[in-house]
Amino acid sequence: MKVRVLGCSGAIARNCRTTAFLIDQDVLVDAGTGVGDLTREEMLRIGDVFLTHSHLDHIACLPLMADTIAAARVGQPLRVHALPQTIAALRQHVFNDLIWPDFSRLPSAESPLITFHPIEVGTVRHVQGRAIEVLPAEHAVPAVGYAVRGPQTGAPWWVFSGDTHGNPAFWHRVNQLQVHSLVIETAFSNAERELARLARHLSPAVLADELDHIDHGQRYPIYISHTKPAETETIMREIAQFDQVRPPRREVAHDIRWLSAGHVFEL
Q: What is the pLDDT of residue 242?
A: 75
DSSP string, 59-102: HTHHHHHHHHHGGG-TTSPEEEEE-HHHHHHHHHHTBSSSSB--
Exposed/middle/buried for residue 244 (C-beta within 10 Å: 0-12, 13-18, 19+): exposed
User: What phi and psi values does residue 193 have, to the nearest 5 degrees?
Assistant: -60, -40
Q: What is the pLDDT of residue 189?
A: 96
Exposed/middle/buried for residue 187 (C-beta within 10 Å: 0-12, 13-18, 19+): buried
Q: Look up the pTM and report it.
A: 0.96
Helix (H, G, I), strand (E, B), or coil: what is residue 132?
strand
Q: What is the pLDDT of residue 200?
A: 97
Q: Which long-range contacts (CB under 8 A, 24 or more apart) does 140-143 make?
A: 140/55, 140/199, 140/200, 141/53, 141/54, 141/55, 141/85, 141/86, 141/89, 142/53, 142/54, 142/83, 142/85, 142/86, 143/52, 143/53, 143/83
Q: What is the pLDDT of residue 164?
A: 97
Q: What is the pLDDT of residue 241?
A: 85
Q: What is the pLDDT of residue 249?
A: 53
Counting every residue written for the chain, the total comes to 267
Report how far residue 19's alpha carbon sits from residue 15's, in angstroms, rounded to the nearest whole number.
13
Pairing of β 78-82 and β 48-50: parallel
Write out pLDDT tens, residues 168-218: 999 999 999 999 999 999 999 999 999 999 999 999 999 999 999 999 888
SS (H, E, C) 149-201: ECCCCCCCEEEECCCCCCCHHHHHHHCCCCEEEEEEECCCCHHHHHHHHHHCC
Q: Which residues of the chain have pLDDT under 50?
A: none
Q: Which residues contact 95 (CB under 8 A, 6 or more apart)?
A: 63, 101, 102, 103, 104, 114
